[in-house]
């Protein structure tokens, strides 16, 4: 049995908020939205060089990165947020830096991962073209211990028949809605690619996928560790993948959110998670060379 599915597609103009909310946003189903383009003509006309230089000049990124996380207004004269996105943000916890801008050349690969903070992602292709592969959190790809980066097994194994997965291309004016915890690998195809993303964390009920359980168990573990004086750094290093105050700022809310979403997780269950993750630590050793290469790829992304 092959569990590859076709991601549903709709035209932006034909998609009302109520339908989107009921059929995709709430149930956490991915959606490909075509022809969002009109707000972005201005942005499409500039080159990624101009965007990059402008952000670099303002000191917002350094010259080697192609990934920028901001507050949305740094390039505000170039675009406005589509209503569908602002409606979603209005129903979510929104972090201070909720807008990302990506510029890339053909061949740039963002390796398999899923995003932290339970964020969902709207990713709009302003210019160029990208190839996406996504995997459901119900049949998650195997990841390194305490991380959200996939283990480096070959793609055939990663996307084996047991995984619920889809692939598609984002062309100019297309936007994908990627629900929380969906893994993805993205390859730049256009000679010049510009993407804008908006990310936020849903306030309402979450789908209780396999990965959801892992995430809340890890978070509970983070809480237990963070309470022990001097251990916060460890939590930031592992769960936060190097981001300071991961739990303190989680989803832009912090402890209140973390405590509520982990309320059903007992200490024993969190420690069970620790044991499960720890058992996979030898893979980190075995794969250490390829991990270095993947981390180098991610460095360019961050
Ligand atoms: O566009 C890319 O290369 C990666 C996008 C991504 O990981 C995201 O939008 O979360
Ligand atoms: Fe991502």
Task: Give 68-103 pLDDT, tens digit per residue.
Answer: 666 666 666 666 788 999 999 999 999 888 888 888
Q: What is the mean pLDDT of the chain?
A: 85
CB-ligand 1 contact for 183 (6 Å cutoff) = no
Quick one: 9-205 is in which CATH superfamily? Answer: Cupin (2.60.120.650)
Distance from the first to the final alpha carbon of the chain:
37
The bridge status of strand 31-34 relative to strand 165-170 is unpaired
For residue 113, give the ligand 1 atom closest to its CA.
Answer: 7
**Contact between 198 and 98 (Cβ < 8 Å):** yes
Confidence band (pLDDT; 50, 70, 90) for 302? very low
More confident residue, 140 or 69: 140
**From ligand 1's centre to the CA of 186, what distance in Å?**
6
- Which ligand 1 atom sits closest to the C-alpha of 187? 3
What is the band of 188 on the pLDDT scale with cuts at 50, 70, 90?
Answer: very high
pLDDT confidence of residue 270: 95
The 8-class DSSP code of residue 252 comes to G
Give the tokens for residue 191: 């000679």
- CA dist list (Å): 63 to 49, 60, 103, 108, 212: 10, 10, 12, 16, 36
CB contact at 8 A, 220 and 262: yes
CA dihedral 16, 172, 194, 108 (to 10 degrees): 120
Starting from the CA of residue 132, give the closest ligand.
1
Q: Cβ(80) to ligand 1 under 6 A?
A: no
- Domain coordinates of the chain in residue numbers? 9-205, 210-295
The pLDDT confidence band at residue 57, using thresholds 50, 70 and 90, is confident
**Per-residue pLDDT at 149:** 85
The Å distance, Cα 99 to ligand 1 centre, comes to 12
Q: Is the CB of 102 under 6 A from ligand 1?
A: yes
pLDDT over 50 (residue 39):
yes
Once rounded to an integer, what is the mean pLDDT over residues 164-187? 95
61: left (phi over 0), alpha (psi -120 to 50) or beta: beta
């Amino acid at each position: 049995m092959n569990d590859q599915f076709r991601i549903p597609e709709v035209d932006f103009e034909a998609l009302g908020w109520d339908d989107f909310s009921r059929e995709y946003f709430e149930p956490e189903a991915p959606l490909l939205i075509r022809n969002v383009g009109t707000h972005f003509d201005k942005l499409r006309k500039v080159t990624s060089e101009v965007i990059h230089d402008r952000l670099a000049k303002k000191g917002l990124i350094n010259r080697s990165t192609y990934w920028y996380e901001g507050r949305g207004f740094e390039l505000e004269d170039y675009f406005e947020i589509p209503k569908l996105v602002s409606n979603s943000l209005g129903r979510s916890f929104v972090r201070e830096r909720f807008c990302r801008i990506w510029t890339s050349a053909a061949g740039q690969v963002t390796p398999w991962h899923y995003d932290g903070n339970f964020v969902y992602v709207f990713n709009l292709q302003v210019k160029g073209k990208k190839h996406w592969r996504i995997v459901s959190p119900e049949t998650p790809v195997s990841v390194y211990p305490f991380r959200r980066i996939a283990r480096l097994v070959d793609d055939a194994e990663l996307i084996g028949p047991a995984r619920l997965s889809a692939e598609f291309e984002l062309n100019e004016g297309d936007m994908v809605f990627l629900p929380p915890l969906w893994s993805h690998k993205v390859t730049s195809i256009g000679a010049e690619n510009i993407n804008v993303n908006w990310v936020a964390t849903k306030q309402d009920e979450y789908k209780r996928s396999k990965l959801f359980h892992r995430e809340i168990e890890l978070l509970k573990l983070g809480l237990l560790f963070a309470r022990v004086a001097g251990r916060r750094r460890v939590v930031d290093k592992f769960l936060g993948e190097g981001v300071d105050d991961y739990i303190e700022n989680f989803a832009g809310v912090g402890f209140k959110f973390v405590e509520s979403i982990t309320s059903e997780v007992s200490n024993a269950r969190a420690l069970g998670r620790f044991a499960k993750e720890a058992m996979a630590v030898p893979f980190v050793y075995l794969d250490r060379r390829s991990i270095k290469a993947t981390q180098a790829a991610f460095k360019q992304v961050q």
